[in-house]
A = this chain, B = another copy of it.
Amino acid sequence: MSNTKVLPLIAPESDAVAPCCPPLTERPFTAEEAETAARMFKALGDPVRLRLFSAVASHEGGEACVCDISDVGVSQPTVSHHLKKLKEAGLLTSERRGTWVYYRVEPSVLAAMGRLLTVAPAAT
Q: Are B38 and A47 in contact (CB under 8 A)?
A: yes
Number of copies: 2
Residues of B within 8 A of A47 (CB): 31, 34-35, 38
Q: Are B122 and A117 in contact (CB under 8 A)?
A: no
Q: Are B35 and A120 in contact (CB under 8 A)?
A: no
A residues engaging B (CB < 8 A)? 6-7, 9-10, 24-31, 34-35, 37-38, 41-51, 53-55, 57-59, 69, 72-73, 105, 107, 110-111, 113-114, 117-120, 122-123
**Inter-chain pairs besides A25-B54, A111-B119, 19 sampled, C-beta below 8 Å:** A7-B119, A24-B53, A24-B57, A24-B58, A24-B110, A28-B54, A28-B59, A29-B55, A31-B47, A31-B51, A34-B48, A38-B44, A38-B47, A38-B50, A41-B44, A41-B45, A44-B45, A110-B119, A117-B117
